[in-house]
Structures are given as C-alpha cells and as structure tokens.
Chains A and B, each alone.
Chain A
Amino acid sequence: MELPRYHRLRPTFYRLEASRCTACGQIHFPPRDLCLTCGSAANQPLQLSGRGRIVSFTRLWQPARGFHDLAGGVTALVELQEGINVTAQLTDVNPERVAVGQEVEMVVRRLLSDAERGPIVYGYKFRPVLKTHQAVEAS
C-alpha cells in the first residue's frame, strides 16, 4: 500500500474511529463529512467499542494479490454494537465453527501478507470474544 494512503487510514484502521451525525444521530464507519441519512454536515468523531456479532460470513478460497495468507480463512459482515455494519476478516477462528450471531471483538492485526514491498499494513480484524476473568465469574 502507498505510504501516504496508509498514513491517512490509521485512525480507522488502528482505532475504528467513526463519525456521528449530530443532527440525526446516524453513525458512519468509515467517517463521513455528510450524513448518509439526513445530509447534514455536522458530523463528530466517535470511538467505536469494537464489539459486535456476525451477520454473514464466507470462507474465502481465492484471495486477492497480497492476501494469500487469507486462503481458507473467513471474511464476515459484522454488525457492531452501535448498530452499523463493517466488512472485515475474522482471525483466531476455526473456519468450520463460525456461525451467524457469534459475538466478536476487534483486534489489530497485519492485513497484508506480503510485507517486503511497502509498509506493513496493520488494521482491524475481528475474533471470537476472548473470555475475561470477570465474565467467567459472572456466568
């Protein structure tokens, strides 16, 4: 990936930074200057939680150039807690045990397989929620 382009993508790729329309409350990821719902230009940055559930998924056998590590892996449409969707790779997952409705959380991983040319591109992926000690005790 080109250096300036990667540089611009860091807030969304590393931190899942979104925007929220202050006129109608619509959240956008990636952030927008103009609200898709009401057209208002009054959009403020919003940090997403990174938690969501799987809406749909596919197991990818023919990856694009530079993504050969994704062969056999899973791409998903995730509905975030904030009510918006994001398309992303899943990671740390057994592809045969992925299910619609599964709870997932955002992690930062290497996106591109080929790191020789251009920068190492880091960005968001989703994995099944890792249990925390508190969560275990609560159940």
Chain B
Amino acid sequence: MGRASGRLLRTTQPVGISSYGAYIPLWRIRTDAIAACWGTERRRVPIRAKAVPGPDEDTTTMSIEAARNALRRVSVPPAEIRAVWVGTESKPYAVKPSSTVVAEALGLTPYVSAADMEFACKAGSEAMQAAIAYVGSGMARYALAIGMDTAQSRPGDSLEYTAGTGGAAFLFGSAADSAAQVEASLSFVTDTPDFFRHAHQHYPQHGQRFTGEMAYFYHSLNATRTLLAELGRTPADYRWAVFHQPNPKFVQRLAKQLGFTQDQIQPGFLVPLIGNTYAGSSLLGLAAVLDVAEPGDRILFTSYGSGAGSDALSLVVTARILDCRDGVPRVRDYIERKQEISDYGLYLRLMRKIHRE
C-alpha cells in the first residue's frame, strides 16, 4: 500500500469494468489531400489518415453503437443500468442531451440518470469517473460511461491533420464480476487556457506550443506520477499503458518521460491510424488494450483534456475478460473496416463545414 493516499479517489465498494464497446466510422480522409489543398510540407503532417464521420453520423449515433456493443457482450438487465453519461465536445445539440437518445435507444429509460459532459478531450474519462462513483457508492448496480467525438477543426489549421472521429463505451459494475477492476483513480485539474471554443464559433482556438509542456504534459505527468506514487507502483508493474493521443509524438514522449516502453503503449496507440478522437481517444485506446489483455494484466490509463486536466486510473484485468470479448466488433475490426477518400471537398462536406441549404 502507498504512503499518504489522501489524493487517490477510492470508492466504498469495489468497482470494475463489466463490459465495453467501441465505434469508429467507416470513412478515412488521407491527410495528403488536406496538405495538398493548403500547401503544407509533407514532413510536417503527423499521420497518414484520420477517421471521419459519414453524413448520417454524429456523436449520438456513434455512442449508441458503442454502447450496444458493450451491452451485447454481457447479459445485464437493462433496468439495472441506472446512469448514462456521454462525454463529448461535439454534441449534436447545444442544448438537449445526447445521453437521453442513447438511453432510449438502448431501452434504459425511464428510471435512469443521464447527462452530457464537457471537458474537452477528458469528457469521456469524466463520464467514467461519474459512473465509477455511482456504482462505487452503491447508488447503482451498473452505470454506462461513453466518450465520443466527431472532432471539428479549422480548415487549414494544424489540428486539421489529426482531429478524428470515434470513441468507446464502458459499463461499470461491481468489481466482483467485472472484466477489469478499478484499483483507484485520481484527477489532476487546473484552469489552463490551452484550447477552447467560443459559444457561437464553429472552430476552436489553441495555444500552439503552449498546449504541450504547460498543458498536455503538465497534467498527464502529474496525474500519472501522483497515482503511481500513492499506489506505491512503478511503470514496470503495468503490462499496458494508455494515454490521451493528440498526435504520435506527444504520446511517445509522454510514455518515455514516465518510463513506459513502446511495447506497453502499442495496442492502445491508435492515433497514427485514425487520428485524435478527442473525448474518445484515451477510451478507445483502453478498449483496444482490453481486446488483447490477459487476466492479471495491470493497465495504467491517463486521459487529458484541455482547459485543463487529466484523469488517471489503475486497472487490473480479471479472468472474466475472456468471456466478454466475442460477439461484437473489436477495435481492430473497426480500424480494418475503412474506406479512404482523398477528395478534400467531400471531406469538408462530411465534416459539415460546407453544406447545401
């Protein structure tokens, strides 16, 4: 046990991930098509392609599928799922929850709590914390947390090369019959204006290099180190590590600074293939790790959201993981299901940056 464990968030009853489900859309835009439009030098483009939504998709439709996948892996009575939290920064409505549509589509209404959460890319892990609290306090037997985004970016901006689409859903329940137990979590939050979007603007603004050391690294490093210290653990105690993934270099640098190897981050390292799925990023990474993890594996999970903050979780995989993987598409099934487009105009239409009146 750690020394002073005053900063860890622990539940009164043990909680775990009972099931999980992912979603990534079919479509990919090649980043060289974006670069060709704006005259960006090839080597400054950090990834080859990113996932974009189809014209009939949004955070709500994707959340429904990820959540359906989670529910199909286990047999949990719908009436026992007492909360649905959707974390996103691309809510289809400015005012009207997506989570209620998800709850209705899954047959979980009416005796259920529901809300949408926002904390930039950390909104999904916020939803996880809330779900952990609902179950861990005894308020509910099960609670559903979803992180999902159809990330928007300003045309011609550097983030246009990485802002991707996708996310995952996690069903939390009692640790005793879960696939991965939550040992503890910790949130590290400050008011840091690295990236934001004003109410009536389509596109966010960001602080370029300020978003690195002062934002992503500061919060991810502190959250992770404090969690590990208070648990009395080192990176070597973990088989896998998952971080928020704005681009490949940040993730690799963070892992290195913390002392995690490339092998440890590899299954969850999705940004080179699909881009940064914002509130879905660290959650999709975790889902990809759970797809390959073995009983007894420890997983370190640290998200990051601009504004800014990180949620860090320590998880232990149980034998039940083997019962809860089949019957629905895995993360790699979604990754492999792809149709690439290299028409920047079509991309603009899919991202609703241009539309017919």
Contact = CB atoms under 8 A, between A and B. Distances in A.
Q: Are A and B in contact, CB atoms below 8 Å, in the complex?
A: yes
A113 B327 CA distance: 32
Interface in B63-104: 64-65, 92-93, 101, 104
Count class of interface residues, chain B? 20 to 34
A68 B357 CA distance: 9
Secondary structure of the B contact surface, majority rule: loop
Nearest to A13: B105
B79 to A, nearest CB: 15
B26 A92 contact: yes
Nearest to B93: A120
Q: 10 closest pairs, A vs B, by CB? A: A109-B56, A134-B326, A14-B105, A69-B55, A92-B26, A110-B56, A108-B64, A133-B330, A130-B329, A109-B61
A132 interface: yes
B60 A113 contact: no
Interface residues of A, number: 25
Contacts of B55: 69, 110, 113
Interface of A: 10, 14-15, 68-69, 89, 91-92, 94, 107-111, 113, 115, 120, 122, 125, 130-134, 136
B58 A110 contact: yes
B105 A15 contact: yes
A136 to B, nearest CB: 8
Nearest to A94: B339
A122 B339 contact: no
A133 B56 contact: no
A49 B26 CA distance: 22
Nearest to B105: A14
A130 B104 contact: no
Given A14-B105, A132-B326, A115 B92 contact: yes
Nearest to A71: B356
A5 to B, nearest CB: 16
Given A110-B55, A110-B58, A130-B334, 11 more contacts: A10-B104, A108-B61, A109-B57, A111-B56, A113-B356, A130-B333, A131-B333, A131-B337, A132-B329, A133-B291, A133-B330
A134 B92 CA distance: 33
Contact of A68 (B54, B58, B356): B356
